[in-house]
Amino acid sequence: MDAAIQAKIEAWLSNGFDQSTKDEIKKLQSENPNELTDAFYKNLEFGTGGLRGLMGVGTNRMNKYTVGMATQGYANYLKQSFPGKEIKVAIAHDNRNNSRFFAETVANVFGANGIKVFLFESLRPTPELSFAIRNLGCKGGVVCTASHNPKEYNGYKAYWTDGGQLVPPHDKNVIREVDKIASVEDVKWQGGEANISLIGKEMDDAYIKMVKSLSVYPDVIARQQDLKIVYTPIHGTGIKLVPEVLKQFGFTNVHIVEEQMVPDGNFPTVVYPNPEESEAMSIGLKKAGELDADILLGTDPDADRVGIGVKDNNGNWVLMNGNQTAVLAFNYMIEARKAKGIARPNDMVIKTIVTTDMIHHIARKNNVACYDVLTGFKWIAELIKSKEGKEHYIIGGEESFGLMIGDQLRDKDAVSAVAFLCEMAAYEKEKGRTLFQKMIDLYVEYGFYKEHLVSITKKGMDGQQQIATMIQGYRDNPPTMIAGHDVMQFLDYEMQKGKNLKTGEVWDISLPKSNVLQFILSDETKISARPSGTEPKIKFYFSVNDKLFSPADYEKVNAKLDQKIKSVINDLKL
């Protein structure tokens, strides 16, 4: 075994660590030395969003000690940033195994550092944490969750004063302070219990009131209150608030998927508790079919992602992808505000660079500013902050099943999105059509945009290196032709440069640095390559488009676009 790894293991077998941790290390030494090596070969990285990793003993795992050291570093930075001021933080957690324990560990460390802590009394959706930070005037916050990852994972997301996740310069500065915590002896573990207060129902009520205020057509809901809704929290935190929010909106015909209703960190009915995965939504789809429902909705464990199912033109239940859901939501918000006479000249919407460009066309036609930001809602939150007082934010979203409606919180919010999507379904039902038919009508009006995602996972010690080598290969030798079409533009967000491969023109990209590459083909196909910031994955995003002259041509054009995507994937040998 590498000497550096062995030294880390010996340190964890010394004083300062509890006996159960030492016993687990000794068990791995005798039974699974490869697992032990993976648990210690590096430190679990405190990235720009916080921590995420497998639970277990070791420096490369989520456990009491890695969580405590991260919190001590964050506490040190908060005290440096607000000298002489009262510092308050809010802390929440999801339903995952150990999430409550991690949240209490975080609370104890903050409290021991003289920071006032508002700890939710039990599991809550991530968006409510963002709302609570703003509502309570906190300087920061933490939610313990691994979002949609498998059951073996947990995580730690860090927030700033605006309720958004950390952005420059705070993200790098916090990382620097966390890296300075060399030992568990540097952590203040206890002694500040008096600084910790529990919060719950009052914050729930304030949050639900805010969500209810987002409704644009309460009169439509009143007429369509019996809209048949099927909802699954996929064993997660959504069960705490979604049913009540739907009730407050006025919906009376809501059916919860019983098999996935109880919060459970083992996620017994799914492999990946992610509404992006058809397997996770399969029980809900079956129930929706049996009930002949109008809409199916599912949220991930921390209730910041939402997936929806609807009936297609043949009466079959299908899942909408994140781009389609975003298009429907953005268009509804823009159209409804205009129809109600509440649109403002300075309204703006925000999407990420890998989210469908169809949204740009919708916004442009309606004279609404549309901005692109890097992947992640922290960048949406940062742009809102930079434009406060000048432009009016109404909705933001990303292709990975995230929406944020209104500016009363600063992270993606599946709780409000569920209610909003149900209102949209009610609005279309009153007009005699489904959300699927509305989607096709939008394709006729703005062009048929179709997106596809390919994720390639590279696990283990050399996985990250394989991903780095792959992305560097595209950067050093960008393809000039893909699937028979010339590559017209090459965008490198890490180098912050764009280049027209035909004319040689080069321009600056104004967004912050990010390890993302994009290729724009002569037929307007867009290909994006992005290593994940939270998982050992590289993701390839494909967007193709064509004209759709009539709803009757939908199947034919859909098949044509499918073939175009397949040709691109084959040419790239993915």
Task: State the DSSP string of 392-436.
Answer: EEEEEEETTTEEEESSSSSS--HHHHHHHHHHHHHHHHHTT--HH
Q: Is 286 exposed, middle or buried (0-12, 13-18, 19+ CB in 10 A)?
A: middle
Q: Report how far residue 17's alpha carbon sits from residue 8's, in angstroms, rounded to the nearest whole number.
A: 12
Q: How far is the C-alpha of 425 from the C-alpha of 423, rounded, in Å?
A: 5
101 and 25 within one domain: no
The answer to whether residue 209 sits within a structural domain is no
Shared domain for 310 and 367, answered yes or no, is yes
| Whole-number percent of the chain with pLDDT over 90 | 94
Same domain membership, residue 408 and residue 262: yes
Query: Is 154 found in the same domain as 121?
Result: yes
Are the CB atoms for 381 and 163 separated by under 8 Å?
yes
* Residue 343 and residue 436 in one domain: yes
Domain boundary among 382, 415, 446: 446
Residue stretches of the chain with pLDDT short of 70: 460-461, 533-535
Looking at the structure, tell me whether residues 418 and 315 fall in a common domain.
Answer: yes
pLDDT at 290: 97
Alpha helices in 189-277 (DSSP H): 201-212, 218-223, 242-249
| Domain presence at residue 246 | yes
DSSP state of 321: P
Catalytic residue at 514? no
SS3 of 230, please? strand
What total of structural domains would you count in the chain?
Answer: 4
Q: What pLDDT is recorded for position 49?
A: 81
Give 31-74 pLDDT, tens digit per residue. 999 999 999 999 998 887 899 999 999 999 999 999 999 999 99
| Alpha-carbon dihedral angle through residues 215, 218, 220, 221, given to the nearest 10 degrees | 90
- Please indicate, yes or no, whether residues 290 and 437 belong to a single structural domain of this protein: yes
Residues in the chain: 574
Is the Cβ–Cβ distance between 276 and 305 less than 8 Å? yes
C-alpha distance across the termini of the chain, in Å: 35
Predicted pLDDT of residue 48: 76
Q: Which residue has the tokens 């009508």?
A: 441
Structural domain of 23: 1-41
Same domain, 411 and 497: no
| Residue 561 counted as domain residue | yes
Determine contact, residues 395/333, Cβ cutoff 8 Å: yes
- Specify the DSSP class assigned to residue 384: H
* CATH, residue 174: 3.40.120.10
358 found inside a domain:
yes
Same domain, 435 and 460: no
Domain boundary among 413, 446, 479: 446
Buried-exposed string 140-149: b where 16+ CB fall within 10 A, e elsewhere: bbbbbbbbbb
Domain contains 217: no
Question: Tokens at residue 5, please?
Answer: 């790894």
Does pTM surpass 0.75?
yes
Give the amino acid at 93: H
Domain contains 521: yes
Residue 231 is classified by DSSP as E
- Active-site hit among 130, 147, 514, 543: 147
Q: Are residues 544 and 564 in the same domain?
A: yes
In a domain, 532, yes or no: yes
Asked whether residue 212 is assigned to any structural domain, the reply reads no
> In this structure, are 31 and 130 located in the same domain?
no
Residue 463 has a pLDDT of 81
The owner of tokens 């929440």 is 92
CATH number at residue 460: 3.30.310
User: Do 301 and 434 share a domain, yes or no?
Assistant: yes
pLDDT confidence of residue 461 = 62
